[in-house]
Structure 1
């Protein structure tokens, strides 16, 4: 699924004040947090900003969820599904964890906005202190032209701007000092041509980045570490000097990435998958001339990458029933027919590496990633049909620990599935129709 924005917007300066990042007065009201509603709990009090109230110390970390809706982002307690806060924000917004277990990056307009989910843990040697506060949209933003993919790996967060080809990376944990220090220092690289791309920074500082333009994407390049220049996020000078080391030219329509195990990185192609492992590229080809694996889900405890699998290049919207399981260790590809279709928001991984697929039959299919065998099937929502417009809400899967969360936009419901017990253990009615879903662990 290609996730492109329809218009080009100008860049928002780094660390711009809230009013500047939101733009005209019409958007100012959209940046203030509003109340959240629930069928079982009264609305949460509106947040007035990141310093609206003193945080409460907790006995343990408190994970939270965030979901987008038409006009904002709702925040929930992950254990109870009760509302924790609500942030109004106009436009079509997309969300990703920032990588520090507290903040969420909101791709909105011409920037990656930073939402404080209001839950975090401060480490002190062998122990930590956990806190909770009202969620709030911060004043901080990374400027971006058509903000696209966000990737977290090896303690670094990487942002890709489709409209400019800019790749910006930073230490994920550094976001914790936003209130005192502002945005963290970043390393910046700009691709030769803008395209709908993705990049992954490796543990040794090297960068894997897609290569292409607005018309075609067909390669993945390995670049050397960024040269230290003493720059900072506001100057945009950090991260100079990346030089290409290696390239795989064998990935037509390259889209998406995943990490298998600790360090193997994969990229989806229209005829298979490119694998980067131990400093080298290799290709695992599809059995069909056109066999696209454009969306993938990896696991830190499994060598297998779960991917979609599409074979109709000319389809306006193909509704596949087969998924791909790519073993990056043995280089084996297994195709599994689920007997039901799914969407690009249907793929996930369990705590032990289980392959999870939310089918249009309304069930969560749990598979053994090595054999492709179905371990269990958990009914969650009524049968549904994938909408033709990819921005339209549809049942969406998000996994946090041993719990799989599934949205049901038609009824504004959210379901929590205990993967160990294999059943739905909690359901809540949301204040808004949910679209994208993500979370932080606190």
Structure 2
């Protein structure tokens, strides 16, 4: 695997924009080919200045070595890696689909993966530019990240949410808008949905100012997700789904099954946009949440190191501490396939544990001990499609461009 170094984000400015996909209308592919730069006032729908639009997703992996602090971006199309600097002491990593947020003490380091998807509901736009280190911000350990075109909301371990200026991030710098104390916030339909420390759920503008309260509550909010049905918050008594339709926001509680003694879900993992979510259920099980059907299912799996759901009709992926990846039917919990993906078992106190990053056709699992990342075709009995061998430990793994 080749490695190339990019020391600054300047290369991004040299990339040409292309026309939007024909499905977006306006301008049409017949007017110009790839590499066409629209004249002022004639930018097609979906145009992003300074980025190249592509016909397909451009997935990349952001990989950080917890020992050396080395951070690299692996292009899954070319197999090349780009060195984007070091983050010594990184102990947590999250992504909003484009940027990676690596926490080290009271500092969050922002890495631009350089690929992203803009979802317009009935179609998507795919973009790429050069990966780069963007900057840092002071914050407690970041546990979740969600963005819209204006703000990035970083949920932190101290129970707050830090709002960053999204446009400034895209321009290559980090600027804090405001910190929301005692609130877990998710951007949704040009608003912020905020679950407060007293359990209230509020709508706020993107400056953090309160607009109204929703009827439902969410006690002890922990864990969030964005799906095509709306924003999901993990609550003490289940999940809260907040949806928007023509400017009207509604909230609905999806309660845990009665008589369930399993631990609650505290961290959701899923393919971006998917309406099926997965979460560990304490030490010995996995929750599967179907947002469309508004149902929970509990699977008795034994101890797990990582989980993820790939979407409606697809399996729930469960990585056991024994290093074996299993595919479970999302309706019944029946195991349909298994394969070993780790070189050695994950200790019970292993921190950080390996992760599963899933997209529309593949899943990626990091093996820090063996310095490898395995690409899994989850639709083909968990076949190992590719193995990426690195010269540093992939302690942290994130996928961008989804």
Instruction: Please state which band the TM-score falls in when normalised by the shorter chain.
Output: 0.7 to 0.9
Match of 1:159 in 2: 154
Give CA deviations for 1:301-330 in whole Å, capped at 9, x if unaligned.
6544322112xxxxxxxx31x212233454
Q: TM-score with structure 2 length normalisation?
A: 0.73
Q: CA deviation at 1:73?
A: 1.5
Partner secondary structure for residue 432 of structure 1: coil
1:136 counterpart residue number:
132
Flag the 1:240–1:341 CA change in 2: closer, same or farther, 3 A: same
Indicate which of 277, 296, 315 corresponds to 2:268: 296
In the other structure, the counterpart of 1:282 is 253
Q: Distance in 2 between matches of 1:129 and 1:297?
A: 22
> Against the structure 1 CA distance between its residues 208 and 89, is the aligned structure 2 distance closer, same or farther, given a 3 Å change threshold?
same
Size of the aligned set, in residue pairs, is 351
Structure-1 separation of matches of 2:75 and 2:114: 11
Pick one of 373, 377, 386 that aligns with 1:414. 373
TM-score by length of 1: 0.67
Shift of the alpha carbon at 1:437?
0.7
Distance 2:334 2:124 in 1: 41
* Corresponding residue of 1:64: 60
Say whether the 8 Å CA contact 2:144–2:223 is kept in structure 1: no
Look up the match of 1:313.
none
Query: 2:224 touches 2:231 (CA, 8 Å); kept in 1?
Result: no
Structure 2 match to 1:190: 180
More displaced, 374-383 or 114-123? 114-123
Q: Aligned partners of 1:285, 1:356: CA distance in 2, in Å?
A: 21
Unaligned runs of 5+ in 2: 17-51, 244-249
Q: Is the contact between residue 65 and residue 438 of structure 1 (CA under 8 Å) also seen in structure 2? A: yes
**For residue 209 of structure 2, what is the aligned residue in structure 1?**
240
Q: How many Å apart are 1:375 and its aligned residue?
A: 3.5
What does the per-residue CA deviation read over 1:185-223, in whole Å, with 9 as the maximum and x for residues that have no partner? 84x3523x5xxx732232251413241xxxxxxx54311
Q: Equivalent residue for 1:266?
A: 233
Partner of 2:24: none
Residues in 1 aligned to 2:13 and 2:307: alpha-carbon distance in whole angstroms: 38
Instruction: Tell me, yes or no, if the aligned pair for 1:220 and 1:247 is still in contact at 8 Å.
Output: no
CA RMSD across the alignment: 3.7
- Aligned partner of 2:171 in structure 1 is 178
Is the contact made by 1:262 and 1:300 (CA closer than 8 Å) also made in structure 2?
Answer: no
CA deviation after TM superposition for structure 1 residue 398, in Å:
1.1
Match for residue 328 of structure 2? 367
Q: CA deviation at 1:275?
A: 2.2
Residue 44 (structure 2) aligns with: none
Query: Aligned partners of 1:154 and 1:178: how far apart in 2?
Result: 15
Cα distance in 1 for partners of 2:118, 2:280 equals: 38
**1:199 and 2:185 equivalent?**
yes
1:299–1:353 Cα contact (<8 Å) kept: no
State the partner residue of 1:214: none
Map residues 98-109 of structure 1 onto 2, 5 A cutoff. Answer: 98-99=96-97, 101=98, 103-109=99-105
Change (3 A) 1:51 1:301: closer
Q: What 5-or-longer segments of structure 1 have no aligned partner?
A: 1-39, 212-218, 228-237, 311-318
The 1:118/1:72 distance shift into structure 2, 3 A limit, reads same
State the shift of 1:76 in Å.
0.9
How far 1:55 moved relative to its partner?
4.5
